Structure 1
Amino acid sequence: MSVHEELTSVQRCLDDLCRSVGRLERQMGSGGLDIRRVRTDADHLRESVALLREAASAAGALRRPDLVAIPDTPYDTTLWTDSDDEGLGARDRHAP
């Protein structure tokens, strides 16, 4: 299964969980600490899955970068007329 399909499956299970918690709240009352804790945990799970969906869509967008073609032709040497040879120092001085 793909990540998208797995997240959809998790979302369906969370929807079932939230419906079940809603039924429990109606039967037991929503004022108890235990049922409020279960409701809060279910809501946190829903938020976490939403964050996972965002991360998965961002990761999917990052996995496919645009390719940049680099030509085989030599670079224009005038680009480096004002620079020193790397690691060798200036042309008119001796290396240490």
Structure 2
Amino acid sequence: MNIGIIQPYSNGFLDVVPEGEDSDYWQIAAIHINGQAYCPTPRLYRSEKAALAKAAQIYDWLADHSHQISNGIYNCSELQLILWQQSKLS
């Protein structure tokens, strides 16, 4: 059973999970940067490597543009996805 991958990246980490048990498809669960978690529009990737590559691309974009996210949501036309900033649990 594969429960997912959490990979350190820059000053944060990337979190990807398989679509389901024994699935070859993966999705990005969250991108963690500067103590915040961001979740992209759900999308399936053909491999763990493809999901991690897209998550890294999103992380790099966030590193330069996180100030553009207001009210916890941002429609990123450049990456063709929506990002939700997850609230921290108290």
Note whether the superposition's TM-score is higher than 0.5: no
- TM-score in terms of structure 1 length: 0.26
What is the TM-score when the length of structure 2 is the normalising length? 0.28
Q: Which has the higher strand share?
A: 2
Say which one has the larger Rg: 1
Q: Of the two structures, which has the highest relative contact order with CA contacts closer than 8 Å and spacing of 6 or more?
A: 1
Q: Report which of the two has the higher share of helix.
A: 1
